Amino acid sequence: MNKPIFVTQPSLAPLEEYAKLLEDAWASGILTHNGPLMRRLERELAAYLGCPDLVCLANGTCAMQLSIRALDLTGEIITTPFTFIATANIISWERCRPVFVDIEAGSWNMDPEKIEAAITPRTSAILPVHVFSAPCNIDRIQAIAKHHALKVIYDAAHALAVNYHGKSVLNCGDISCVSFHATKLFNTAEGGGCVSLDPGLNARVRRLRFFGFDENKEIVDEGMNAKMTEVHAALGLANLRYLDQVRANRRRKYHQYVEQLKEAGFVKFQQFNPEEYNYSYMPVLLDSEARMLRVLGNLAAKQITPRRYFHPCLNTLKHFAPNCSLPVSESVAARILCLPLYDSLVEDEIDRVCKCVRNA
Ligand code: T4K
């Protein structure tokens, strides 16, 4: 009997390296409140990514929440329906209304040509997602935002260690939000971060994550608790040393999948620039929902669980109504499947997954 295969598994540094990093925390008893390990992780990540600064937070969802707050957004925020529920939920959670626009058929990212029709006097921002790490058409989105005086927050949950025009994609827009969840390319178990080129915004996000305290512990803003602990930061520091290796490994496995599936006439892959992708997911688009369900059944019979990232299409959820029908997003969401992709996945397992797909 083969062991079950899940859509992903965390990439983890050797346990001894993690434990070593925790020795100082054990000695000092400092476990949280913007401690030395978290500040070191902020510096090391910013340097690794080529960003001037990075603010570590408790998770990627609160990175978006604090960004909405830091920019004082209200009213309507234009976003994509082809994303994880967190993106749209946090807009509503912050008492704004998500307005969905359709995606491009090849990149599965927000279609910039559909944005202007969705802008109203109530629109305050655009919140696109770099889905599966492929950068959106940022040049076009920024031009539209500038023309209409809108803010831009990028949900870059998937897009750590991705460049756009040779520079970190996280340096784009007013703020970019990353996730360091256990299932991501780089993880701190739970965690996330905000990147902005505006030092004032970074300072505000830092205050918002810490109850509104400034550096002198004066209450200067209406904040909450979104701090990253030392225990999480240590895991990040340990894992960061392996990030290049993890990315290269996943890239190799991604191509093994493509080699085995490209001849199957019913499988399509995401369109992206290979220099601007981090290979954290293995999304495949089947030619019909019926075929996708057959693939799912074949895999389930072998104890292999892929994920329908992202289904359902968020504009179809009742609590976001009224929203119009968005044919490209709905069609992609009905036929997409993310196949298993992670460090310890071996070639034989990829072969088994591909066989199930081809047999559908
Ligand atoms: N924006 C976008 C576009 C996102 O995709 C996400 C999160 C966010 C924002 C929000 O970021 P965070 O607030 O989460 O930092 C997972 C993740 O929980 C979620 O972070 C991620 N996107 C989403 C795409 O995937 P689920 O519900 O599929 O996770 P779960 O727990 O079912 O895990 C999937 C598989 O991973 C399991 O079958 C086994 C494996 N796994 C999972 C965990 C948690 C492990 O091996 N170890 C683990 O610790 O959402």
Ligand 1 contacts CB of residue 59 (under 6 A): yes
Considering the domain boundaries, does residue 4 fall inside one?
no
The domain boundary, picked from 182, 211, 240, lies at 240
Q: Is the pLDDT of residue 320 over 90?
A: no
* 204-213 burial: b if 16+ Cβ within 10 Å, else e: bbbbbbbeeb
Considering the domain boundaries, does residue 340 fall inside one?
yes
pLDDT in tens, 30-72: 999 999 999 999 999 999 999 999 999 999 999 999 999 999 9
Lookup result for tokens 């802008």: 119
Cis peptide before 327, with omega less than 30 degrees from 0? no
Considering the domain boundaries, does residue 287 fall inside one?
yes
Look up residue 92 and give its two tokens.
Answer: 């509503």
| Measured distance CA(110)–CA(213) in Å, rounded | 36
Ligand 1 centroid – CA 98 distance (Å): 22
Alpha-carbon torsion (22, 49, 185, 252), positive or negative: negative
pLDDT in tens, 195-231: 999 999 999 999 999 999 998 999 999 999 999 999 9
Looking at residue 321, what is its pLDDT? 72
Looking at residue 35, what is its pLDDT? 95
Ligand 1 contacts CB of residue 9 (under 6 A): yes
Could you tell me the CATH number of the domain that includes residue 299?
3.90.1150.10
Look up residue 350 and give its two tokens.
Answer: 């990829």
- Domain shared by 216 and 251, yes or no: no
The domain boundary, picked from 240, 269, 290, lies at 240
DSSP assignment string, 171-206: GSSSEEEEE--TTSSS--SS-EEEE-S-HHHHHHHH
- Domain shared by 344 and 326, yes or no: yes
pLDDT in tens, 101-123: 999 999 999 999 999 999 999 99
Average pLDDT over residues 256-283: 96
Ligand 1 centroid – CA 34 distance (Å): 25
Ligand 1 contacts CB of residue 206 (under 6 A): no
- Domain shared by 52 and 82, yes or no: yes
pTM of the entire predicted model: 0.98
pLDDT in tens, 142-151: 999 999 999 9
Looking at residue 18, what is its pLDDT? 98
Looking at residue 335, what is its pLDDT? 98
Looking at ligand 1, which atom is closest to the CA of residue 83? 3
Considering the domain boundaries, does residue 284 fall inside one?
yes
Amino acid (1-letter code) at residue 263 = E
Ligand 1 centroid – CA 152 distance (Å): 24
Ligand 1 centroid – CA 215 distance (Å): 33
Considering the domain boundaries, does residue 337 fall inside one?
yes
Ligand 1 centroid – CA 263 distance (Å): 30
Ligand 1 contacts CB of residue 84 (under 6 A): yes
What domain count does the chain have? 2
Give me the chain's average pLDDT, please. Answer: 97
- Domain shared by 262 and 299, yes or no: yes
Considering the domain boundaries, does residue 3 fall inside one?
no
Could you tell me the CATH number of the domain that includes residue 161?
3.40.640.10
Q: Is the pLDDT of residue 257 over 80?
A: yes
Backbone angles phi, psi at 46, to 5 degrees: -60, -45
Ligand 1 contacts CB of residue 109 (under 6 A): no
- Domain shared by 197 and 274, yes or no: no
- Which residue segment(s) compose the domain that 137 sits in? 15-240
- Domain shared by 34 and 182, yes or no: yes
- Domain shared by 189 and 249, yes or no: no
| Measured distance CA(169)–CA(195) in Å, rounded | 10
Ligand 1 centroid – CA 90 distance (Å): 16
Ligand 1 contacts CB of residue 160 (under 6 A): no
Please measure the distance between the N-terminal and C-terminal CA atoms of the chain and give it in whole angstroms. 22
Looking at residue 2, what is its pLDDT? 78
Q: Is the pLDDT of residue 1 over 90?
A: no
